[in-house]
Amino acid sequence: MVASPLAGESKTPDVVVVGASAGGVEALTDLVAGLPPDLPYSILVALHMPVGAPSVLARILDRSGPLPAAQAVDGETLQAGTIRVAVPNRHLLLDNHRIALTEGPTENGHRPAINALFRSVALIFGQRAIGVLLSGVLDDGTLGCAAIRSRGGTTIAQTPTEALFPAMPLNAIAAGVVDYEMSALEVGGLLKQLADRQFEEFAMEPDARMELENRIAMARKFPTEFNTEELGPLSGYTCPDCNGSLISVSEGNYRCQVGHAWTADALLRARDDEIEGALWVAMRSLQEKTKLSRRLAGQVNPGILRNRYESIANEAEHAMGVLGNRLSAGQTKFKGPDG
């Protein structure tokens, strides 16, 4: 058992961190509606969001429940009974009990990332940290819940059958890193009960790997001040973001040399995207090859050269047809070149 480093700092409120992705707005709205008005926690929320789009999540949550909600501000102190929401393209972390918005490397292609927020709070609050994982795809948040539990904290997952996208809570539950499973609306009642707990203080045990991963998330946009090789051996895989070698931090947990982090599920999805992109490039190249060969055949006199161009065009058309038929037979679904 480990303890919070907050002994003697009663003015700093404990923290509840909430992570969500697809379907998360609906789940967050329910969660916020069920919070008691006298909740003594500071609540930090990370929702996966597009980089360039303005976020209105704070306004939605502010009118959905009794606690005031606002976008997080870098350097802001934690306040009990408030909700602070991550902003697009910044990790939401804690630095010496203050909010930190950073441009550290993406995790599972996301910034803000749920794992990064949960890990940051686990390191500072230990057994007083509480993590809540809501609706979403893939498995962001599973490693974050594991980090909180490894430091003696408490984890809660939305009931998968209630979540619009159950994969995130399901993955955390399957990994055995969830203490409570319930509807989003019921979370507030449990938090009220947990607020009355008494803790026996212990010396916080260091976790060098977790601390290094937290420093990576806290870093600037193009960091050079850390060595990810300290995290583990080479995995034999490459990073979808930068094509650098991925290091195996733990089972199903990878980081590249410049800090991008991937779980196994997210890495697999990224490979699907790479294959899809490569197939569209192949289809386009075959189409252009066919058109160019036909044009060249039409520009020369009948004979060996025209026959060569026509043969090239026929081969390209045949290859394009075979590729299209096999993809259709395999029920492969793609987006168009423009997304």
pLDDT, one tens digit per residue, over 37-48 is 999 999 999 999
- Catalytic, 140? Answer yes
Residue 333 in this model has a pLDDT that exceeds 60: no
pLDDT at 169: 97
Are the CB atoms for 93 and 52 separated by under 8 Å?
no
Helices 142-150, 114-125: axis angle to 10 degrees equals: 10
Residue 120 in this model has a pLDDT that exceeds 90: yes
- Catalytic, 265? Answer no
pLDDT at 11: 61
Active-site residue among 4, 48, 64, 139?
Answer: 48
pLDDT at 223: 65
pLDDT at 273: 80
Q: What percent of the chain has pLDDT over 90?
A: 66
pLDDT at 337: 37
Active-site residue among 14, 30, 139, 140?
Answer: 140
Kind and range of the H or E run holding 281: helix 264-298
pTM of the predicted model as reported, rounded to 2 decimal places: 0.82
Active-site residue among 21, 42, 135, 293?
Answer: 21
pLDDT band at 125 (very low <50, low <70, confident <90, very high): very high
DSSP state of 278: H
Residue 287 in this model has a pLDDT that exceeds 80: yes
3-state class (DSSP) for residue 157: strand
- Catalytic, 97? Answer no
